[in-house]
Amino acid sequence: MSEKSVIESTIEPITKERIIYDLMRGGIDSRDNVLLHSSLSSLGWVIGKSMTVVDAFLEVLVDGTLIMPAQTGDNSDPSKWVNPPVPESWWPIIREHTPSFHPEHFDTRGMGKVVECFRHYKGVLRSPHPTSSFLAKGRQAKYIVKNHPLTPTFGMASPLGRLYDLNAKVLLLGVGFGNATALHLAEAISGVLSKEQNGTKFNEKWVDYEDFAYDSDRFEEIGELLLQEEIAYTFEVGQAKAICFRVRDAVDFASNWWKEHPPV
């Protein structure tokens, strides 16, 4: 959405104080560990843009932790790229010349402006996974990101597993359940997924590895069930619809659901 369209759809400018008030009214506590997925434009026209959003969350979570996904999909096997695809003749060149993942320097892809802003904040830590890292800042940041094995990417040994142990919250701010990365943990522990081959540039060399065939296509369906079961709830932040749920509750429900409704 263009900035002009955002301005035209905004009733009044969104301030940091408004975001803080709405988060606290929606049940976000100062000690919470929150995995945030966000769409900046959904909030309305925010004074200070991404920095205001990040600052608001950090002020609310003064004794907690703010976490965001920082995926780097362009550091993956080009043979699997579909949005957009690249010619097959390019694949070996890309594999050879893709820079090796470095947590301090590697840009995210498709994560949004708020994530890229947060990535540059002092004290933000990043997990070491070359394609699916997480950012964290706050009381539990070191614990959450210190380990992130190459495979399984979203298993119990990943930051999502740490968030499960902490019973952290997920906040979908202006985005739907299709963005709920935590549900990949439910896929991983359900035992129903097939495996697939992947590749990435890591430690200065191309590495091929096997992982689960994660698929978010059914996340919206599961999300509707989470709302019906009152595991997830909604409120508003600025002009955005926010969806909130506990990682452990949602993952337990979703992993059982997958066992009963395995992929065809």
The string of pLDDT tens digits covering residues 203-260 is: 889 999 999 999 999 999 999 999 999 999 999 999 999 999 999 999 999 999 999 9
Asked if residue 104 has pLDDT above 90, the reply is no
Q: Total domain count for the chain? A: 1
User: Across residues 31-35, what is the average pLDDT?
Assistant: 98
What is the pTM (predicted TM-score) of this model?
0.94
* Domain extent for 55: 3-260
- Residue 103: name the closest of 79, 81, 120 by CA: 120
Asked if residue 1 has pLDDT above 80, the reply is no
78 confidence band (pLDDT: 50, 70, 90): very high
Burial 12-37 (b: 16+ CB within 10 A, else e): eebebebbbebbeeeebeeebbbbbb
pLDDT of 55: 98
Q: What percent of the chain has pLDDT over 70?
A: 100
Is 10 or 141 the better-scoring residue by pLDDT?
A: 141
The string of pLDDT tens digits covering residues 136-189 is: 999 999 999 999 999 999 999 999 999 999 999 999 999 999 999 999 999 999
Mean pLDDT, the chain, rounded, equals 95
**Residue for token pair 């129903």:** 192
Asked if residue 8 has pLDDT above 90, the reply is no
Is 8 or 146 the better-scoring residue by pLDDT?
A: 146
> How far apart (Å, rounded) are the C-alpha atoms in residues 121 and 70?
14
> How far apart (Å, rounded) are the C-alpha atoms in residues 6 and 232?
28
pLDDT of 255: 96
- Contacts for 228 with CB less than 8 Å, ≥ 6 apart: none
